[in-house]
Amino acid sequence: MQISNPTRRLAEFLLGGVVLVNHAAFSANVDYFTDNGFGNPSSTLQHPTGEFYKGTTYLAYQGPHEDSYVCAYNHARREWSGPVLAGVSLMGKTPDPIDNSDVDNHGKPAMMVDRKGFIHVVYGAHGGSPLLGRNPFGAPAGTPRGGKLTHLVSKNPEDISSWEVVDNVSPFGTYPQFVQMDDGGVYLFYRHGSHRSDWVFQKSTDDGRTFAPPVSVLKHKAQPTDVTVHDAWYAWFAKGRGDTITASYIYHPCANPGHTKDRHNAYFMRMDCGDDSWDNIAGERLTLPVTKESADQKTLIFNTGAERCNHGTCRVDREGNPHVFFRYDKGQVRYSRWTGSVWTGPTAVLPEGGSGGQDGDMIVESSTTVRMLLTSSNGDKGEVGWWNTTDGGQTWAKQPPLLSRVGGGYGIGALVENFTPEGMVVVSASISSQHLYRQMILLGTDGPVKRPEAEAANIVKDLLKIMKTGPLKSGDKQVLAVKKGKKKEKYMEEE
């Protein structure tokens, strides 16, 4: 039984130690497992955010000060543990900002559980900084505030209570993505620096204890016609059929001066982990790193023209054919699949003129039956629920929402790795417009996995005490934002 003394808990927090949570009896159950998510606590681009392993779902997310926290849920005992502060982020601020544009949000964690049950978390960077040395694959962040990519491993298997740093990944990395193969091989993909950097992977064959040096997959470089604009990418990597890894990605023309939100086109390619070679969808060998020119020529799914489009996720069917979605302006998802000879669509999952805010992941049941688990928003109403197709993506049917609220939307990550139907995805929800702490929800087919309120709900209250901001009054947010100087830093404007 853990100690329930709130003074001890506050002291632990101030010292950067473990946040202990009282296991209270006779407490009403709530839908969330903690309220110390912070800013954008999880997203699809840092993934997995959770993994089911031997009866327990382990979850990592961004908490106060952009630090990485871990929780675990034992399904048979219906018992939560955590949140545990696994690692402190160099990018965090104290006190916690109350405006999300003052939060970098790039250092949120990706996690995995290795074959022996050790839990791995990679987190904490938006490109590193020049102080960390020369970046061989791109540009470090322009200021020391780019953090440092850090790899943590639990000291004991199946135990989230204590952590150690394993110094074996590049400090410049951002958007970490773990892909674990059936033979235990681990590929850690990430962008090797700020947006003007290559996407790379590091490979481990010893459960993440050592990693081979980075290998560049997608190349950043100045455009031949305008050297002030750089080819840049946002990419999403996941396990394909058998011993393969899929990459679905979009193009970002990075203008100078000033990073812009320009994002276009959708691309796909595939890695054969037998020899780490890459092919396009037609099976044609690619030369690494893939440049904009070769991507356009060999890996294009569709050209979006002037329309903006951002990355989504990619899952494969039994034949190994990829199903992808990308997010267009206003957060509208469009879907496409490879039939074996052509890419379909892309088809809007929402009817024209419908709501937006769509993001999430999908389950491919067959080449024609796909279920997407998506957030969506309409005005100030937010929902999370299924959108299903049984005709290969030509039409989509919205199911009754699993979560619904008025007064804000939801954040969502990629599907929990190896998920059980009880806990498929982590969703975050704002609590108040006056601070950035978030309720964190593990959502399954029957709705949220519950937790006693006394375990889940006392963190924000304590943190507000620590911050001495108390309950904020109307107008305080504006005043505080101006006081702090709300000038955005360039590198913070990414996605």
The yes or no reply on residue 151 touching Zn ion (CB under 5 A) is no
Nearer to Zn ion, 235 or 460 (CB): 235
Least gap, CB of 253 to Zn ion (angstroms): 8
Q: Rounded distance, CA 124 to CA 175, Å?
A: 10
The yes or no reply on residue 259 touching Zn ion (CB under 5 A) is yes
Which range, of 209-217, 259-267, 379-387, 396-404, touches Zn ion by CB under 5 A?
259-267
Of 189, 251, 260, which is closest to residue 223 (Cα–Cα)?
Answer: 251
Least gap, CB of 493 to Zn ion (angstroms): 8
* 38 and 85 Cβ atoms separated by less than 8 Å: no
Nearer to Zn ion, 224 or 470 (CB): 224
The catalytically annotated residue of 32, 123, 175, 234 is 175
Output DSSP code: residue 287. P
Least gap, CB of 260 to Zn ion (angstroms): 6
Q: Rounded distance, CA 40 to CA 404, Å?
A: 19
Q: Rounded distance, CA 429 to CA 60, Å?
A: 16
Which position's Cβ is nearest Zn ion? Answer: 254
The yes or no reply on residue 106 touching Zn ion (CB under 5 A) is no
Tell me how far CA of residue 10 lies from CA of 63, 66, 76, 96, 177, in angstroms: 15, 18, 31, 16, 33
Nearer to Zn ion, 212 or 227 (CB): 227
The yes or no reply on residue 254 touching Zn ion (CB under 5 A) is yes
DSSP string, 362-419: EEE-SSS-EEEEEEEEETTEEEEEEEEESSTTSS-EEPPPSEEEES--EEE-SPPBT-
Least gap, CB of 192 to Zn ion (angstroms): 14
DSSP string, 390-401: SSTTSS-EEPPP
Q: Rounded distance, CA 370 to CA 314, Å?
A: 12
Least gap, CB of 138 to Zn ion (angstroms): 11
# of chain residues touching Zn ion (CB under 5 A) = 3
Question: Is 65 among the catalytic positions?
Answer: no
Least gap, CB of 267 to Zn ion (angstroms): 17
170-229 residues near Zn ion, rule: CB under 5 A: 195
Tell me how far CA of residue 328 lies from CA of 236, 311, 346, 357, 399, in angstroms: 16, 9, 11, 10, 22
Q: Is the peptide bond before 289 cis (omega within 30 degrees of 0)?
A: yes
Q: Which residues contact 352 (CB under 8 A, 6 or more apart)?
A: none
Question: Is 435 among the catalytic positions?
Answer: no
Nearer to Zn ion, 195 or 203 (CB): 195
Nearer to Zn ion, 78 or 261 (CB): 261
Q: Which residues contact 56 (CB under 8 A, 6 or more apart)?
A: 72, 73, 74, 75, 158
The catalytically annotated residue of 47, 106, 151, 230 is 106
Least gap, CB of 132 to Zn ion (angstroms): 20
Nearer to Zn ion, 254 or 440 (CB): 254
Which residues contribute to the site for Zn ion (CB under 5 A)?
Answer: 195, 254, 259
Kindly list the catalytic residues.
Answer: 106, 175
